[in-house]
Amino acid sequence: MFPDPPAASSKAISSFLKEDRSFPPPAAFQARAAINSVSEYERLWNYAAEQPERFWAEQAESLLSWTRRWDRVLDWQIPHAKWFVGAKLNVSYNCVDRHLTTWRKNKAAIIWEGEAGETRVLTYNDLHREVCRCANTLKSLGIKKCDRVTIYMPLVPELAIAMLACARIGATHNVVFGGFSAEAIADRNNDAQARLVITADGGWRRGGLVPLKQNVDAALLKSPTVEKVLVLRRTGQEVTMQEGRDVWWHDTVDKASLDCPAEPLDSEHPLFLLYTSGSTGKPKGILHTTAGYLLHATLTSKLVFDLKDDDTYWCTADVGWVTGHSYVVYGPLANGATTLMYEGAPNHPDWGRFWQIVERHRVNILYTAPTAIRAIARQGSDIPARYDLTSLRLLGTVGEPINPETWMWYRDVIGGGRCPIVDTWWQTETGGIMIAPLPGATPTIPGSATRPFFGIVPDIVDIHGKSVEADQGGFLVIKKPWPGMLRTIWGDDERFKTQYWSQIPGVYFTGDGARRDQNGYYWIMGRIDDVLNVSGHRLSTMEIESALVSHPAVAEAAVVGAPHDLKGESIHAFVTLEASMSASSELKSVLAVHVVAQIGALARPESIYFTEALPKTRSGKIMRRLLRDIAAGRESRGDTTTLEDYSVLAKLRDSEET
Ligand code: WTA
């Protein structure tokens, strides 16, 4: 049986079915594109599917610099892959050093704009200098190859510098999104056994200060493995520096030696951990390694964004998410591109900010999230109309399904009807883009991520792993290993196996529902597990439930998502209180604040319902489907016969909502 898809998705499916608009690549775009016809796409896709090792070896040879060549392209002991076995290379070298011997040495690597409007440009030469200094500082702080380093920083160039410095010496970075709370930092520090935290005094968000160092201080009370903290002065706000533990960036990095050769590392050396939500238990540390990840990020950046040397490329993602890793930092820099970073919020000082940045820096390629597009579109088309957006030549989206209306708005209002849109489907676990149009080749249809990238062999299957017919919904799986795939869950290989490789034996289980149409186009329907997609960010219902239950007033909690115009999904919590506690609106606020303190502001419930009991099956499983209906304000669809206590449902409907 195909499980209940989130309500938002089932609505999307019906509108997808009506979609018959199709847009071929504009001729002017096609003329310059690296891959410029459907037949060329199909030829290469078939070649990569039939001879993946040959395909990837050729790409590895032409795109990356190696200090030692591989003995074998792939060692595949399902579910464990090793790519480019025996080879050595360095990611930081590939992203920085190798451009220094070319004309790119003085090309802008990073163009940065702060929230207040100040800008900085780092050429590849500048970047090299900073990365070397930072890497030497890491060494002087005792960090060695294989140590884990947590990075909790605002979106400033030093964040990319810190990542590249770790990669340079073989330390494994663990970037924690700056919106996460002290609790979340501590969890990640402990799971990763991090020895060092790199942070800043604070960051700017909508004109306010985010107390990053203070959060780290609180986290370190519960992070026994962390020995040192490296602190960048960003805002100048007051912070406490603990003697012997905390050092300033300007006292160390700025004074460090420029000489730091990149260490040749094994192709499977752990490059980074990135924690993401799964349907059960604590966040999972997704492990990505060196060569395969870099190759996947590099090739997809080059072809999906059709990167050219004269492009100014802007991916608006925070580097705290995988999109920022692969498509702000590693993919673009490995290609020698100019990547733009913007520190702040899209609505600061007003909703024109993105377009002001596009105009100011003459951005050519813009890659953002549907939630941002929806929020901006809602403010009216007259805002973008005030800016000169004619520099744009390509638009991209990622993170959640994009509704066709939003897609059309993006195309017409932002792209002036001139720019192809690449709707890119992928995951933290996949490392890089998996399903997306190639903008000079693939005709696009609003709402579809279109067709798989080279070397990626997806399928839509039923619960038994059998391929379903065209236009039937099913589970999206990937049938062959690919270079950027996660290698394991840090410290929990069993979970890696059960979560991704056991539901349907022999294939990678994405956790997304999808369908494939008659033309082989993929339509992603959203998560089929208990993971919410709020503003393009994955949150597990389980984590929010655990946060609620950790409050002494709460006996039991169930969290579900409901469709939300801007965020995609919003969070609704059903809470049963301890017998001694009574419901009140103050308590609702207290619980909301508690969730924010445990996880971060993005987990704040949209509403909290107090209830005497939760609807459960006789076997004790919470019937989330019913809760979803209530949260969405719908009549219950479907079967309630397994419900243990019918009266619960009626009581829930009567319970007051905030
Ligand atoms: C969803 C973000 C529809 C999907 C790169 C996936 C999408 C989850 C798309 C991964 C898209 C991502 N269309 N859905 N173009 N891109 N998703 O790990 O449910 O933060 O499984 O990686 O986002 O989220 P993650």
Q: Angle 449-624-278 (CA atoms, 0-180°, nearest 5)?
A: 55
Give the pLDDT band of residue 3 (cuts 50, 70, 90). very low
Q: Are residues 114 and 157 in the same domain?
A: yes
| 536 within domain boundaries | no
Reduce the DSSP state of residue 129 to 3 states and report it.
Answer: helix
Give the pLDDT band of residue 630 (cuts 50, 70, 90). confident
Q: Are residues 63 and 97 in the same domain?
A: no
425 pocket-lining for ligand 1 (C-beta < 6 Å): yes
Tell me the DSSP string of 583-605.
Answer: --HHHHHHHHHHHHHHTBGGG--
Q: What is the pLDDT of residue 57?
A: 98
Contacting residues for 32 by C-beta, under 8 A, at least 6 apart? 306, 308, 440
Q: What is the pLDDT of residue 656?
A: 46
Where a domain ends, among 230, 247, 263? Answer: 263
**HSE-up (13 A, CA, CB side) for residue 474:** 23
DSSP symbol at 320? T
Helix axes 291-304, 52-63, angle to 10 degrees: 80
478 pocket-lining for ligand 1 (C-beta < 6 Å): no
435 pocket-lining for ligand 1 (C-beta < 6 Å): no
The answer to whether the beta carbons of residues 264 and 90 sit under 8 Å apart is yes
Instruction: Return the ligand 1 atom nearest residue 401 CA.
Output: 3
Beta pairing, strands 338-342 & 284-289: unpaired
Beta pairing, strands 284-289 & 488-489: antiparallel
What is the per-residue burial (b if ≥16 Cβ within 10 Å, else e) of 372-396? bbbbbbeeeeebbeebebeebbbbb
- pLDDT above 50 (res 5): no
**How far apart are the CA of 425 and the centre of ligand 1, in A?**
6
Q: How far apart are CA 298 and CA 432, in angstroms?
A: 9
Quickly count: other Cβ atoms within 10 Å of residue 421's Cβ: 21
529 pocket-lining for ligand 1 (C-beta < 6 Å): no
- Give the CATH number, domain containing residue 582: 3.30.300.30
Q: What is the pLDDT of residue 13?
A: 36
- pLDDT above 50 (res 657): no
Q: Please give the share of the chain, as a percent, with pLDDT higher than 70.
A: 93
The closest residue, in CA terms, to atom 22 on ligand 1 is 427
Q: Are residues 494 and 638 in the same domain?
A: no
Q: What is the pLDDT of residue 6?
A: 38
**How far apart are the CA of 427 and the centre of ligand 1, in A?**
5
Quote the mean pLDDT of the chain.
92
Q: Are residues 460 and 592 in the same domain?
A: no
The answer to whether the beta carbons of residues 429 and 286 sit under 8 Å apart is yes
426 pocket-lining for ligand 1 (C-beta < 6 Å): yes
- pLDDT above 50 (res 7): no
267 pocket-lining for ligand 1 (C-beta < 6 Å): no
Q: What is the pLDDT of residue 65?
A: 98
Q: How far apart are CA 53 and CA 483, in angstroms?
A: 10
**How far apart are the CA of 318 and the centre of ligand 1, in A?**
15
Please return the burial class of 98, using the count of CB atoms within 10 Å of its CB with bins 0-12, 13-18 and 19+.
middle
**How far apart are the CA of 512 and the centre of ligand 1, in A?**
9
Q: What is the pLDDT of residue 18?
A: 58
- pLDDT above 50 (res 276): yes
318 pocket-lining for ligand 1 (C-beta < 6 Å): no
The answer to whether the beta carbons of residues 453 and 436 sit under 8 Å apart is yes
538 pocket-lining for ligand 1 (C-beta < 6 Å): yes
More confident residue, 95 or 556: 95
The answer to whether the beta carbons of residues 275 and 176 sit under 8 Å apart is yes
Q: Which domain holds residue 633?
A: 551-654
Give the helix ranges, DSSP H, for 177-306: 182-192, 212-220, 249-252, 291-304
The answer to whether the beta carbons of residues 517 and 464 sit under 8 Å apart is no
| 538 within domain boundaries | no
**How far apart are the CA of 248 and the centre of ligand 1, in A?**
37
Q: Are residues 144 and 209 in the same domain?
A: yes
Least confident window among 239-253, 313-327, 547-561, 607-621:
607-621
Q: Are residues 233 and 303 in the same domain?
A: no
* Tokens (6 digits) for 438: 């190639």
37 pocket-lining for ligand 1 (C-beta < 6 Å): no
For the segment 84-113, the average pLDDT, to the nearest whole number, is: 98
Least confident window among 235-244, 565-574, 632-641:
632-641
Q: What is the pLDDT of residue 529?
A: 83
298 pocket-lining for ligand 1 (C-beta < 6 Å): no
Residue whose CB lies within 8 A of the most ligand 1 atoms, among 16, 400, 516, 522, for a mutation test: 400
Scanning the structure block, which residue is given the tokens 């190759």? 295
The closest residue, in CA terms, to atom 1 on ligand 1 is 400
Is pTM, for the whole model, over 0.85? yes
**How far apart are the CA of 369 and the centre of ligand 1, in A?**
10
322 pocket-lining for ligand 1 (C-beta < 6 Å): yes
524 pocket-lining for ligand 1 (C-beta < 6 Å): yes
Q: Give the bridge partners for 150, in sequence order.
A: 174, 197
| 126 within domain boundaries | yes
| 543 within domain boundaries | no
More confident residue, 412 or 642: 412
512 pocket-lining for ligand 1 (C-beta < 6 Å): yes
For the segment 343-360, the average pLDDT, to the nearest whole number, is: 96
526 pocket-lining for ligand 1 (C-beta < 6 Å): yes
Q: How far apart are CA 567 and CA 538, in angstroms?
A: 12
- pLDDT above 50 (res 4): no
Where a domain ends, among 204, 231, 263? Answer: 263
**How far apart are the CA of 526 and the centre of ligand 1, in A?**
8
**How far apart are the CA of 431 and the centre of ligand 1, in A?**
11
Q: How far apart are CA 222 and CA 433, in angstroms?
A: 36
126 pocket-lining for ligand 1 (C-beta < 6 Å): no
**How far apart are the CA of 325 and the centre of ligand 1, in A?**
15
401 pocket-lining for ligand 1 (C-beta < 6 Å): yes
Residue whose CB lies within 8 A of the most ligand 1 atoms, among 426, 428, 523, for a mutation test: 426
Reduce the DSSP state of residue 100 to 3 states and report it.
Answer: helix
| 179 within domain boundaries | yes
- pLDDT above 80 (res 30): yes
Q: Give the bridge partners for 36, in sequence order.
A: none
Q: How far apart are CA 294 and CA 296, in angstroms?
A: 5
499 pocket-lining for ligand 1 (C-beta < 6 Å): no
| 326 within domain boundaries | yes
Q: Are residues 363 and 469 in the same domain?
A: yes
The closest residue, in CA terms, to atom 8 on ligand 1 is 427
533 pocket-lining for ligand 1 (C-beta < 6 Å): yes
Beta pairing, strands 88-89 & 265-266: antiparallel
Residue 238's identity, in one-letter code, is E
398 pocket-lining for ligand 1 (C-beta < 6 Å): yes
Q: Are residues 132 and 217 in the same domain?
A: yes
Give the H/E segment covering residue 152. strand 148-152
Q: Are residues 424 and 394 in the same domain?
A: yes
Q: Are residues 57 and 102 in the same domain?
A: no
**How far apart are the CA of 540 and the centre of ligand 1, in A?**
14
Strands (E), 93-141: 108-113, 119-123
393 pocket-lining for ligand 1 (C-beta < 6 Å): no
- pLDDT above 80 (res 156): yes
- Give the CATH number, domain containing residue 124: 3.40.50.12780
In degrees to the nearest 10, what's the CA dihedral of 55, 57, 62, 64? 130
Q: Are residues 374 and 492 in the same domain?
A: yes
DSSP symbol at 4? P
For the chain, how many structural domains are there in total? 3
Instruction: Return the ligand 1 atom nearest residue 531 CA.
Output: 19
**How far apart are the CA of 8 and the centre of ligand 1, in A?**
14
Q: Are residues 280 and 379 in the same domain?
A: yes
| 482 within domain boundaries | yes
The closest residue, in CA terms, to atom 3 on ligand 1 is 401
The closest residue, in CA terms, to atom 23 on ligand 1 is 399
| 382 within domain boundaries | yes
* Tokens (6 digits) for 540: 């597990």
Tell me the DSSP string of 66-131.
Answer: -SB--SEEEEEETTEEEEEET-EE-HHIIIIIHHHTSGGGGSEEEEEE-TTS-EEEEEHHHHHHHH
400 pocket-lining for ligand 1 (C-beta < 6 Å): yes
What is the per-residue burial (b if ≥16 Cβ within 10 Å, else e) of 197-236? bbbbbbbbbeeeebbbbbbbbbbbeebeebbbbbbbebbe
Note the pLDDT tens digit of each residue in 174-225: 999 999 999 999 999 999 999 999 999 999 999 999 999 999 999 999 999 9
- pLDDT above 60 (res 16): no
**How far apart are the CA of 182 and the centre of ligand 1, in A?**
26
Q: What is the pLDDT of residue 384?
A: 98
The closest residue, in CA terms, to atom 12 on ligand 1 is 399
Where a domain ends, among 203, 228, 263? Answer: 263
Q: What is the pLDDT of residue 280?
A: 67
